[in-house]
Amino acid sequence: MDVLQLLPSEQALRTAPARMAPLAKLPVFWALTGKRAVVAGGSDAAAWKAELLAACGAEVHVYAQDLSEAFSTLLRQGSQSGDGRFVHHAQDWHAGAFEQAAIAIADCEDDAAAARFFGAAQKAGVPVNVIDKPRYCQFQFGSIVNRSPVVVAISTDGAAPILAQAIRRRIETLLPPSLKSWGALAHSIRDRINAAIATAAGRRAFWEAFADRAFGASPEANTQGDLLADAKCIVAAAQSSSPGRVTLVGAGPGDAELLTLKAVRALQAADVILFDDLVSDEVLELARREAKRMLVGKRGGRASCKQEDINATMIQLARAGKHVVRLKSGDPMIFGRAGEEIACLQQHGIPVDVVPGITSASAMAARLGVSLTHRDHAQAVRFVTGHSRQGFLPADIQWHDLAHSRTTTIFYMGGRTAGQIRMHLLAAGMNADTPVAVVSAVTRHNEQRWSGRLDDLASAVTRIGTDEPILIGVGSVFSQAAHAAKPTVAPLRSSHFNIARAGL
């Protein structure tokens, strides 16, 4: 039985892997080696499809009386190479052409011709595509990034082919040409690795390490031997009953695009993910689907899991050999109780490492276009918690230091204590006109922003509400924050007040 008891609420539904969002088409990679393919028509478009089919190893039967120059060149080159992948029938297609065919493609001049080809192929039970006529297509071709055996295909369901091409160009720049060699190497050693490493966890560890190397330099002559040696090391480690491990991962403020590459890799390698209530569904969507997900929400003013239970669960899972990702909103090392968890894990001999994330204060500054250390305004930045273990402001905050005019202060979790923050800063001598900015649900679809005077802080937070996490920024650097959002409601007291929902 798991030590941790999940929170009883509708949020517990998030512990299950996210269901696949609706797909316009099912992406399928189709083996055509040695299969008969039918191409009707002699146009350049038909030639491109014929070349694509031949590249997949199909035997391409071309039915056309007349061929374009490009198609004639393609068939001539195929004949000269002697690979026998093209068979030209200098006649129109007929019903017998579909016999034993695996796929049929045509370039038809009009809908009537397309309907005839489509109907004949369907009757023969052959999947069919009529070029540029979606109504007569049972499948579609995507834009392709070719690092075969690594192949990436992009589809927009026919809505925007130019967009698909643009996406392909982006991906082309991300995937090194050497990936082709690594893919071929994976093919050559896969059976030996599976035979050498008996456990699924061990195999995954091997291929994760392999993937990290695949985005570096091309494999060398001794690379295969090195990889097989790695497999032996994994087996030896498993036999020594070494424990699992825990990785503390910063999920950032909510926007999945702000995750680091290292954080994504950790999510893809996890066996179990213990995630905070504030972690967005978009971030969880990037995790390995087979990973077990456990909500360990800790939220001010709401039912929360006890820290002791979270620690015990991480220890239990790691001792069972699991790779546990402790997924925390923002940065684990900024008000994330990472220090307590690291100390507990180390005390029990559990290996632990940390993947930093973008802390909410940095996201707030970016969203507002404000430099927290603008040299004309601030010589120091302070991050202060607005919520102690007892649910109130910490008693030992040095308010006179925070009230210094050349200091920028960001209060985390200060929504419910905004009135006290205002009172203490004013009592410490801070000017009532000091610029203040408030951001709720930073980087998320329901983000709200306010900028104005310190004297108006409490009433502004009341207006925004405290259902979502709130950041409060105090200091002269926020004098320009009013320009970061267009006002959508009337001011509370002054022309500096504005509140806006910021769409991403």
* Residues forming the active site: 276, 298
CA gap 173, 302 in Å, rounded: 46
DSSP 468: S
Residue that has been written with the tokens 């509708």 in this structure? 10
Q: In terms of Cα–Cα distance, which of 445, 446, 449 is closest to 460?
A: 449
Q: What backbone torsions phi and psi does residue 423 show, to the nearest 5 degrees?
A: -60, -45
- The token pair at 190 is 């896969």
CA gap 132, 215 in Å, rounded: 36
Q: How many CA atoms lie within 13 A of 303 on its CB side?
A: 9
CA gap 385, 335 in Å, rounded: 7
Are the beta carbons of 294 and 14 closer than 8 angstroms?
no
Burial letters 20-40, b for 16+ CB under 10 A, else e: eeeeeeeeeeeebeebbbbbb
Are the beta carbons of 91 and 65 closer than 8 angstroms?
yes
Q: In terms of Cα–Cα distance, which of 363, 406, 354, 357 is closest to 382?
A: 406
Are the beta carbons of 14 and 293 closer than 8 angstroms?
yes
Cα 101 to chain center, whole Å? Answer: 39
CA gap 371, 354 in Å, rounded: 27
Which residue pairs from 385-388 have beta carbons closer than 8 angstroms and sit at least 24 positions apart in sequence? 385/335, 385/411, 385/412, 385/413, 386/411, 386/412, 386/413, 386/414, 386/415, 386/416, 386/417, 386/418, 386/421, 386/472, 387/300, 387/412, 387/413, 387/414, 387/416, 387/417
Q: Which residues have a Cβ under 8 Å from the Cβ of 96 and sit 6 or more positions away?
A: none
Cis check: omega of the bond before 149, within 30 degrees of 0: yes
Question: How far separated are the first and last CA of the chain, in Å rounded?
Answer: 41
Q: Which residues have a Cβ under 8 Å from the Cβ of 447 and sit 6 or more positions away?
A: 367, 439, 440, 441, 501, 502, 504
